[in-house]
Structure 1
Amino acid sequence: MNLKGKSLIKRNLATRLVMGIMVVSLFFSCQPTGEKKPLPAESIGWVTEKMTDLMVHDITNPPLAGRFYAYACLSGYEVLATNSEGNPSFSGFLNGLDSITQPDWESPSLPMSAIFAMTHTAGAMQPSGSEMEAFELSFADSCSSWGYDEQEISRAKTYGKFISSQILEYANADRYREISNYPRYQPSPGEGKWYPTPPGYFAPVEPYFNTVRPFLLSSSDQFKPKPPVPFSSNPDSEFYKLMQEVYELEMNKEQREIAAFWDCNPFALEETGHLMVGVKQISPGGHWMGITDIACQKAGLEFEEAMKVNSIVAMGLMDGFISCWDEKYRSDRIRPETAIRKYLDPSYKPMLQTPPFPEYLSGHSTISTTSAVILSHFFGEKFSYTDTVEEKYGLGTRDYESFLHASEEASISRLYGGIHYMDAITRGQDQGKKVGEWILAKHQAHLDKRNALLVND
């Protein structure tokens, strides 16, 4: 097995095994005792993990994955917010979300309804969303084992779908659907511009993602970064030095492991003899949603608090990708692989496969830093944990002293992998920090406004 993990077949088998174990765990974790058991907060992670599995199967691109997580988590949050003073509805807070209508009947369990809202939203939005039906059935069986009867489960499901349907309307208005009507993106001519790379020469990913409505940013270019170091073929130029830094890097074992662990390329091609084999992997957003679940479980968060954290992290992913993609297709900078092959070494091949979109900013650096800023706010700057997210993909585990530690490692992995220049990494981190801090400040202002209204009442 190489550093990128197991083959696609082995990964699929591993995924099925994990899901099978999870279903059994769901059913037997609590047996009927005559009393209703509260839903465990970790059930939120069961949904996002199932979503991740479907995204791996569907080869969902990174920005789109962030969109799926955000709306699914928002659906669950809004169910709980219908009866919460501590975590008010995001209506009137998020861009374009004016109001959420509450059902005129009660749910036997708002956490149960929140899970059904998440699965309904994910099922409606994801290409293989119909696969969520099996998960819903196994989850309903677990609810039965926790003391809920069939009628209560049905009511909870209807309640969740009522909220989910409103979030789906909200999602349908974010302009993502309009992207399909835009003209096909064509790479720009001229030196220093991005161009598709081997071996797949894939078409550019989401060139119009900056037109999608953000959740909390005022616009996609709210935090417009400094322009990248300008391209130059002059050996004495700053760009040439950046290019040489990538080319001349001699990695040790630890650095190679870091690059592989944070690869997060949804679809890569590997050469096997005379064949090209597709290898599916988790996306950057999926990795950070997994970390969020790990943190929530380790901290022992109650269901409502865990739902809030997941929602804010997911919306941070979405806004982080929008902000980053806005710059990617504006600066349109050439990838190291293309430049190095032309100006230094025609046989150069990076350790990681070059993603199919322009180089500046680094997407992983941006959204990893955004996620780390948000998670550090909720769990503290010295929250240590073991990252087991990539274990099911054959990449083992890694220990981190903090979320910032993890985000810094994710960022530098792009240099180790040979897919980014250093200025795209450091400025991506700057961008991610600004997005994360903005989201937290907006959320605090929302809470302060709600608390002021309660006091005045």
Structure 2
Amino acid sequence: MKIQFLLSLLLIGVLTGCNKKNEKLPDLNGSVIGQVTSQMTDVMVHDVTNPPLGARFYSYACLAGYEVVAQNDSAYKTMHGVLNDFPEIKKPEGITKYSYQLSAVLAMLETAKKMQPSGGLMLQKFQDHLVDSCKTIGFSEEIIMGSKEYALGISKQILKYAKADKYNRISNFPRYAPMEGKGNWYPTPPGYFPPVEPYFKTVRPFTLDTSSQFRPAPPIPFSEDKNSDFFKMMLANYHVKAEGQAKITAAFWDCNPFALENKGHLLVGMKKISPGAHWIGITDIACKQAKTDFPKTLLITTSVAIGLMDGFMACWDEKYRSNRIRPETVIRKYIDPNWKPFLQTPPFPEYLSGHSVVSSAAAVILTHYFGDNFAYTDTVEERFGLKARKFKSFNDAAKESGLSRFYGGIHFMDAVENGWIQGDKVGHWVVGKLSAVGDQQSVSGKHTASR
């Protein structure tokens, strides 16, 4: 990350600084929020972070930044009393000279550095460049030090809240073993990885009453009968062709951090982003296009991150309840032993489709802020070698994301369709819960933007 590039993101004007001398400080551009989440995404790709855990990282980092905003901008309210068990975040005492916007960004980084395994090293480099850029555009050493101290004070409180969500207890649970019996999930090639986050439902959600609050309709029952609904659904997967537009769609929304490729006798990770990271990137694109200011950008990004986390919780609750077999496993057994899906099957049970759930949840939240027909160009995957795609709305993108799992051969259609329904419910629930904290007025954008 070049310092010169950061400069273009940081400076958009001046504001009255939070200090006794009423000094004028540079105003940070809202797009710096997207740079922070992009850096977090890079760490997740490096660490092969699983999708639910990635949403957890985004959420707490964004909450740290948002609470700084809430303490310094009267248009935005704290999450205390809104999110489950969220504490009253105390403003650090004795700090009179700081930029609240810089403090918010640094609070995000400090939180992510502590939570992400490789964050301490990888994010520190970005933070150092950020601070150097702030010096270049006019922040004094005193303001920077005050902003850092403020950020650390907030981050410490958010990290305490994160520690209490019970995720750290998961390692104490017994190792999850696949359930025996026909129709149950079993590890799939090429990696045959153990199941991802089987106990994620035990973590504290942000807005949901429980992870099972929006329990979906049960999956179509497994059956070996060739006249059964299940067998017909299985045949639909077998006969779908990942060609033309279907192939493009499947590849664009792959978002499988666990994907492997054969290199001689080795299986090498392909380093892909998660579906949550993709929607965080879309959020950045939308905020740039609508030219949302710093606090609004942080509110929207935080809202989407929370929606992703609670969406994954709802989905994972069902995955390990139904424990349904993947198309790859069942088609090879009952139809064609040589069949392979276009996409690699991720390592967890089939029902529901996680892409369908979190994409629908994110689309509802983004539509709430930007409107029903917010057209944009999705460039999130360009740095991973995929061409940009145009969408007429967030809901169109969410529908395509879900269908990509059917086209790719890794989900049955009832998992896709019922995933859309669950995600829609989660998204509207999150919007309702967060309506108390900040400016909920929709924004619109006529300019094009890309990540």
Q: Is this a same-fold pair by TM over 0.5? A: yes
Instruction: Report the counterpart of residue 81 of structure 1 in structure 2.
Output: 70
Cα displacement (A) at 1:396: 1.5
Q: Does 1:24 align with 2:4?
A: yes
One-letter amino acid of the structure 2 residue matched with residue 60 of structure 1: T
SS of 1:203's partner is coil
Q: Does 1:427 align with 2:418?
A: yes
Instruction: Report the counterpart of residue 184 of structure 1 in structure 2.
Output: 175
Which residue of the other structure, out of 96, 101, 112, is the alignment partner of 2:102?
112
Q: Does 1:244 align with 2:235?
A: yes
SS of 1:386's partner is strand
Instruction: Report the counterpart of residue 449 of structure 2 in structure 1.
Output: none
Cα displacement (A) at 1:142: 1.2
Instruction: Report the counterpart of residue 302 of structure 1 in structure 2.
Output: 293
SS of 1:192's partner is coil
Whether the aligned pair in 2 keeps the contact of 1:78 and 1:90 (CA below 8 Å) is: yes
SS of 1:158's partner is helix
CA displacement 1:120-176 (0-9 Å, x = unmatched): 000000000112111111000111122101111111011011111100000000000
Whether the aligned pair in 2 keeps the contact of 1:328 and 1:357 (CA below 8 Å) is: yes
Instruction: Report the counterpart of residue 283 of structure 2 in structure 1.
Output: 292
Measured in 2, the distance between the counterparts of 1:177 and 1:108 equals 34
- Give the 3 Å change call, closer, same or farther, for CA 31–296 of structure 1 in structure 2: closer
TM-score, reference length from structure 2 = 0.92
Structure 2: gaps (5+ residues): 15-23, 440-451
- Give the 3 Å change call, closer, same or farther, for CA 32–295 of structure 1 in structure 2: closer
Q: Does 1:260 align with 2:251?
A: yes
Q: Does 1:96 align with 2:85?
A: yes
Whether the aligned pair in 2 keeps the contact of 1:411 and 1:425 (CA below 8 Å) is: yes
Whether the aligned pair in 2 keeps the contact of 1:33 and 1:147 (CA below 8 Å) is: no
- Give the 3 Å change call, closer, same or farther, for CA 150–127 of structure 1 in structure 2: same
Structure 1: gaps (5+ residues): 1-19, 449-457
Measured in 2, the distance between the counterparts of 1:383 and 1:238 equals 38
Instruction: Report the counterpart of residue 173 of structure 1 in structure 2.
Output: 164
Q: Which runs of 4+ in 1 moved over 3 A?
A: 27-36, 272-275, 445-448
One-letter amino acid of the structure 2 residue matched with residue 39 of structure 1: L
Whether the aligned pair in 2 keeps the contact of 1:107 and 1:159 (CA below 8 Å) is: no
Q: Does 1:234 align with 2:225?
A: yes
- Give the 3 Å change call, closer, same or farther, for CA 120–33 of structure 1 in structure 2: closer
One-letter amino acid of the structure 2 residue matched with residue 179 of structure 1: I
Cα displacement (A) at 1:195: 0.2
CA displacement 1:395-431 (0-9 Å, x = unmatched): 1210000000111110000001100000000000000
Instruction: Report the counterpart of residue 148 of structure 2 in structure 1.
Output: 157
Whether the aligned pair in 2 keeps the contact of 1:82 and 1:89 (CA below 8 Å) is: yes
- Give the 3 Å change call, closer, same or farther, for CA 259–144 of structure 1 in structure 2: same
- Give the 3 Å change call, closer, same or farther, for CA 163–234 of structure 1 in structure 2: same
Measured in 1, the distance between the counterparts of 2:260 and 2:322 equals 27
Instruction: Report the counterpart of residue 38 of structure 2 in structure 1.
Output: 49
Instruction: Give matches, 1:240-389, under 5 Å.
Output: 240-389=231-380
Instruction: Report the counterpart of residue 9 of structure 1 in structure 2.
Output: none
Cα displacement (A) at 1:81: 0.4
CA displacement 1:167-191 (0-9 Å, x = unmatched): 0000000000000000000000000
SS of 1:170's partner is helix
Measured in 2, the distance between the counterparts of 1:232 and 1:310 equals 43
Measured in 1, the distance between the counterparts of 2:124 and 2:293 equals 26
Measured in 1, the distance between the counterparts of 2:82 and 2:189 equals 44
Cα displacement (A) at 1:309: 0.2
RMSD: 1.7
Measured in 2, the distance between the counterparts of 1:32 and 1:271 equals 48
Instruction: Report the counterpart of residue 59 of structure 1 in structure 2.
Output: 48
Measured in 2, the distance between the counterparts of 1:255 and 1:175 equals 40
Instruction: Give matches, 1:398-417, under 5 Å.
Output: 398-417=389-408
Q: Among the aligned pairs, what percent are the same residue?
A: 54
Measured in 1, the distance between the counterparts of 2:192 and 2:212 equals 28
One-letter amino acid of the structure 2 residue matched with residue 160 of structure 1: A
One-letter amino acid of the structure 2 residue matched with residue 26 of structure 1: L
One-letter amino acid of the structure 2 residue matched with residue 280 of structure 1: K
Which residue of the other structure, out of 215, 221, 227, is the alignment partner of 1:224?
215
Whether the aligned pair in 2 keeps the contact of 1:32 and 1:147 (CA below 8 Å) is: no
- Give the 3 Å change call, closer, same or farther, for CA 257–82 of structure 1 in structure 2: same
Measured in 2, the distance between the counterparts of 1:89 and 1:166 equals 13
Instruction: Report the counterpart of residue 16 of structure 1 in structure 2.
Output: none
CA displacement 1:86-128 (0-9 Å, x = unmatched): 2100011110113111122235211110000000000000000
Cα displacement (A) at 1:276: 2.4
Cα displacement (A) at 1:37: 2.2
Measured in 1, the distance between the counterparts of 2:316 and 2:12 equals 50
Cα displacement (A) at 1:31: 8.6
SS of 2:218's partner is coil
Cα displacement (A) at 1:381: 0.7
Q: Does 1:132 align with 2:123?
A: yes
Cα displacement (A) at 1:25: 0.5
Measured in 2, the distance between the counterparts of 1:400 and 1:30 equals 28
SS of 1:232's partner is coil
Measured in 2, the distance between the counterparts of 1:201 and 1:399 equals 35
Measured in 2, the distance between the counterparts of 1:30 and 1:403 equals 28
- Give the 3 Å change call, closer, same or farther, for CA 310–30 of structure 1 in structure 2: closer
One-letter amino acid of the structure 2 residue matched with residue 96 of structure 1: D
Measured in 1, the distance between the counterparts of 2:97 and 2:335 equals 65
SS of 1:189's partner is coil
- Give the 3 Å change call, closer, same or farther, for CA 238–112 of structure 1 in structure 2: same
Whether the aligned pair in 1 keeps the contact of 2:9 and 2:31 (CA below 8 Å) is: no
SS of 1:389's partner is coil
